[in-house]
Amino acid sequence: MAFNTQRLQFVGHSGATLAARLDMPNGPLRAYALFAHCFTCSKDLAAARRIAAELAREGIAVMRFDFTGLGSSEGEFASTNFSSNVADLLAAADYLRKHYRAPSVLIGHSLGGAAVLAVARNIPEVRAVATIGAPADVGHVLKNLGTSLEAIEKSGAAEVDLAGRKFLLKKQFVEDARAHRLKDAVASLKKPLLILHAPLDGTVGIENANEIFLSARHPKSFISLDTADHLLTDPEDATFAGRVISGWLTRYLAADTPQGTGVIEDVRVTETGEGKFQNSVQAGSHRLFADEPESLGGLDSGPSPYDFLSMALGACTSMTLRIYADHKKLPLGRIGVDVSHAKIHVNDCADCTEAERSGSGRIDRFERVISIEGEVSEKLRGKIAEIADKCPVHRTLEAMATIRTIVK
């Protein structure tokens, strides 16, 4: 979304080459985050991408990678366990430290959440930790094995079905999961912790969030994900989680820096790679999306280009009227401006000038409705309309602007 993605590779705990993606903000960089995916998932989980997008909007780069033996990473999954996941996280942090900057943030989903809780104290640069649907006990993952657990303990290994996929698990995985005391790691975390969990999570129950919260020291926060499922398959749930995390992190990371320091700052618009039309828009330190409605093939994740034009006209009108009211010491109530845009046929334009009527085809028409709180005399209404027409954006839209294009 609001980032560009780089494909990376680094060496994991066992010497296997692990596949990673580094989602870099298209603007000022505040920090690096490391994302740990859920048990048997991968870095390409849709929820992980959406969460990374929201963090990128706040200037946070996110590295997400496949643990050994999963996704596009090399290695044998059957030889891995929770301890190897922790070791892979340490290897990923070391890679970031050597080639970019050490991670300031750890984010983990499900068993990945348990892993970041276990490893956080071993990465000194980490300033904050966030978990999503994390278990309070590493051994919780064994509940997903059902009757296969008995077969593993009896035979030393067994093939299990997890979310419709077959995995070979060995007894060492079971023993390692039972050996970890996650609550001790949480109690000694000494870092700000954000816990996100869905009350209706059928995979990792909400009681796990309560246990983690009670074990942790302040500062700690809990956010309910309401009706979300464990994998945050609804895009709105994943986006909400990302926004909450990015907003919470602003308390623990260095302040953002503006894009430019000159009198006039550029606006940068960049394709995000999500959907057909979505673009990230940066103006100074401000970030938002531009998109098209779903009816036009977009994701409806932000205003359309013409919405931005309408916003510019509305905002400029309101500001211009406020400057005028303050200058004239008029007790003007709160100003509201509704702007609509349409393309109409020139013959249907009752307000067009004769010169405009002489043209053909369709023209752009912006309709502006100004509302003022409180009583406004008829005389003042006329003056308000006159001043509104002097708004710089209004003049720009009505004039013939010059646009210079440079292709690099």
The domain locations on the chain are: 5-250, 305-398
Cα-based torsion angle of the residue sequence 196, 201, 206, 209 in order, rounded to the nearest 10 degrees: -30
> Rounded distance, CA 7 to CA 158, Å?
34
pLDDT tens string 130-185: 999 999 998 888 777 777 778 878 888 777 776 667 778 778 888 888 888 899 99
Q: Could you write out the DSSP letters of every residue in 33-97? A: EEEEPPTT--TT-HHHHHHHHHHHHTTEEEEEEPPTTSTT--S-GGG--HHHHHHHHHHHHHHHH
Confidence (pLDDT) at 1: 41
Q: Which helix (H) or strand (E) holds 222?
A: strand 220-224
Same fold, 5-250 and 305-398: no
Q: Cα separations (Å) of 193 from 82, 189, 254, 386? A: 21, 9, 17, 54
Q: Classify residue 200 by its DSSP letter.
A: T
Q: What are phi and psi of 249, to 5 degrees?
A: -65, -25
Confidence (pLDDT) at 255: 63
216 CB neighbour count, 10 Å cutoff: 23
Q: Which stretches in the chain have pLDDT values below 50?
A: 1-2, 258-264
Which residues, 6 or more positions from 280, have their beta carbon under 8 angstroms from its beta carbon?
Answer: 1, 2, 3, 26, 56, 57, 269, 270, 272, 287, 288, 289, 290
Confidence (pLDDT) at 259: 43
Confidence (pLDDT) at 258: 46
Homologous superfamily (CATH) for 5-250: Alpha/Beta hydrolase fold, catalytic domain (3.40.50.1820)
Q: Cα separations (Å) of 137 from 148, 180, 183, 204? A: 19, 8, 7, 10
> Rounded distance, CA 314 to CA 393, Å?
9
Do the beta carbons of residue 282 and residue 93 sit within 8 Å? no
Which residues, 6 or more positions from 26, have their beta carbon under 8 angstroms from its beta carbon?
Answer: 2, 3, 4, 56, 268, 270, 280, 282
203 CB neighbour count, 10 Å cutoff: 18
Confidence (pLDDT) at 353: 55
Q: For 305-398, which CATH class?
A: alpha beta
Q: If DSSP codes are grouped into helix, strand and coil, which group holds residue 220?
A: strand
Residue length, the chain?
408
